[in-house]
Structure formats: C-alpha cells, structure tokens
Amino acid sequence: MKTPFFLRALALATASMATSAAMAQTTPIKFQLDWRFEGPAALFLTPAAKGYFKDAKLDVTIDAGNGSGGTVTRVASGAYDMGFADTAALMEFHANNADAPNKPVAVMMVYNDTPASVMALKKSGIKTPADLSGKKLGAPVFDAGRRAFPIFAKANAVNGVQWIAMDPPLRETMLARGDVDAITGFTFTSLLNLEARGVKAEDVVVLPYPAYGVKLYGNAIIASPKLIKENPAAVKAFLVAFAKGMKDVIGNPASAVADVKARDGIINADLETRRLQLAIDTAINSANARAEGFGQVNGPRMALMASQVSDAFNTKTRINPDAVWNPSFLPSKAELNVLPKK
C-alpha cells in the first residue's frame, strides 16, 4: 500500500523544518589567525578538520593573518568574531583606543610564554644580552619582539641599539647576509627560516625573552564583546572544542600538520612539524604553563605585563589588565588538562 501523497509531502516538510531548525542552531564563527598557514596553525585547523567545532554546533571558518595587530583590529571592526593574537598587541589596542565600542578581550591563553627572542649568528660574537649594546638589530616594525624589546633591554641593561626595518620575508635573509647583527622574532619562526636559508641551528645564538627576565604572556584567543554578549554559549563551546583539539595536536604534531597542508599544499610538512613542536615546547608546554594551568593566567603577572607594555609601547592610557582578560568562558579543569607531563 502506497503512502498517500499528502502524508509524503507532510513528512518531507517536517524533515525540511527539522533540518532548518538544526541549521539555525549552528553558530557561524569567523576566526582570524595571527599569521600564515604554518605549523602552529594546526592548533585551530586540527579541531576544525576533526569536526570538533561542528560537533559543538559551530560553523567555524579560519583565515590566515599577517600579524597580531591586524587580527586585533579586524576583530574590533566586526569583520571577525574571534582570533588569535599577541596579548601585548591586544593591550596596546585597548590603551590607545579607549573610546572604541568593540574592544576584543582575551578568553584563553595559549602561548603562556612569549615566543619572542633575539637571534644572532655565533660568528658575530654575541653570546649574551649585554653583547647587544651598540649593535644593529633588524625586524619588521610590527614584530612582537621588536615592540617589546624595551622591556628586554631594561631587564638586561642593553642600550645604544640601532634598528633596521624590513618586510618579514627579508628578516632572516638580512641576518644570514650580515646586514644586521641580530634580529627579533618568534623563535619557532625565525630559527627555522634561518635554516631554510642555509644557516645551521648550531650556528645561531638564541636569547629567549622568558629566559632573560621578560615574563610576558604570548598569544591568546580573543573574542569580540558583541559575540560574548549575544552568544556566550558559542564562546564557551569554541574553547571546549579547541582544548579537545589541542590534546590531539600535542599528542601527534605530524598528523596535525597534515591538516595545515590540506589548507596550504605548498608547505614543507617536515619543516612545519618541527616548527609546531618547537612552539609547543617553548610557548605552550612551558614551566609557567604547567604551573598556572593551560589556558589560564596569573593575576599579578598579567598586571606586571600591563604596566610593562604601557611603558614600552608608550600607550595613550595605562592598560587595565582586568579589561583585556575574561576567564569566565574557560572549559573545566579536566577539559583543560591537555599538557603532557615533563
């Protein structure tokens, strides 16, 4: 016996309504990275590829970036809902745009220690921060390490530095050629870029900011106040899905980099796996991160950073650390337990 036409039509209409309702429950999230699709982008591309965001009823689109300052500005403008950006850049935006109506806030710390460092070739004779006095340093003007260098210089009594500005692709080339004595940059970016230019890792002196008295936080996940106000559940769901993906990335970086290659087929998978592992070892699974807990911050340390950034960046107003950090959406302690034991 055939089902009457009106019953079939009713079933189709009901199914269509159910599909529409399910789609209506899915929240679109536009997410801006801080940089290109390199190894560390796996932190976000892997949970997307594994469907963790989709399972959380989120339709997340992830775009490459060109610097943390741009990411903060784009989230502030409403072009993006969330992003990944250097905490110092976020602080600077707050302090220089006090009247901005949509100042993003950090909702989860990812790089508990800034990945910034000074790098020089051993043949330069530079061995310690003191050797940088009077030297010629190079970096793009927006580089996080260059912007925070006054904090590094103050902590290590460095003075008389001359800065040379260049576009990012030229930074490591100029150091390799001897056009500058040292550069600033994220360790996992510049060290491997130098290697790609024929410089062996053992011939590079690395002076990591955290090892020389600079206790700055690095990159955090930021969210727009509009999203936080209108859909706080989506912010929480994003962070839970991200933390789940973090466990996978840390457990198998090589597999995670495959998700990056799926977005940018020209990357060198072996090189980017090493870059991702270096980021994990130096900025994510650090002693500070294990002490404070992944995703979280220490109040006094954040306050000190706010004061240091206000001075180093010469901001229009003093930075209020409570205005840039909102931990209320962090997943549970069990969900944040992603770091392997050292």
Per-residue pLDDT, 11: 53
Which residues 6+ apart lie within 8 Å of 206 measured at CB? Answer: 117, 118, 119, 187, 191
Going from the N-terminus, what domains does the chain have, and what CATH number goes with each?
A: 27-113+217-329 (3.40.190.10), 116-212 (3.40.190.10)
b/e code 133-165 from CB counts within 10 Å (16+ = b): eebebbbbebbbbbbbbbbbbeebebeebeeee
Per-residue pLDDT, 190: 95
Reading the chain (342 residues) residue by residue, the pLDDT tens digits are: 455 555 555 555 554 554 444 445 899 999 999 999 999 999 999 999 999 999 999 999 999 999 999 999 999 999 999 999 999 999 999 999 999 999 999 999 999 999 999 999 999 999 999 999 999 999 999 999 999 999 999 999 999 999 999 999 999 999 999 999 999 999 999 999 999 999 999 999 999 999 999 999 999 999 999 999 999 999 999 999 999 999 999 999 999 999 999 999 999 999 999 999 999 999 999 999 999 999 999 999 999 999 999 999 999 999 999 999 999 999 999 999 999 876
Predicted TM-score (pTM) of the model is: 0.91
Which residues 6+ apart lie within 8 Å of 235 measured at CB? Answer: 82, 107, 223, 227, 228, 329
Per-residue pLDDT, 23: 45
Per-residue pLDDT, 109: 98
Per-residue pLDDT, 10: 55
CA 131/CA 7 separation, integer angstroms: 83
Per-residue pLDDT, 18: 43
> Alpha helices, DSSP H only, in 162-252?
171-177, 187-196, 225-230, 232-251
Which residues 6+ apart lie within 8 Å of 338 measured at CB? Answer: 243, 246, 247, 250, 294
Which residues 6+ apart lie within 8 Å of 111 measured at CB? Answer: 217, 218, 219, 220, 279, 283, 284
What are the φ and ψ backbone dihedral angles of 304, each rounded to 5 degrees? Answer: -65, -45
CB neighbourhood size of 301 (10 A): 16
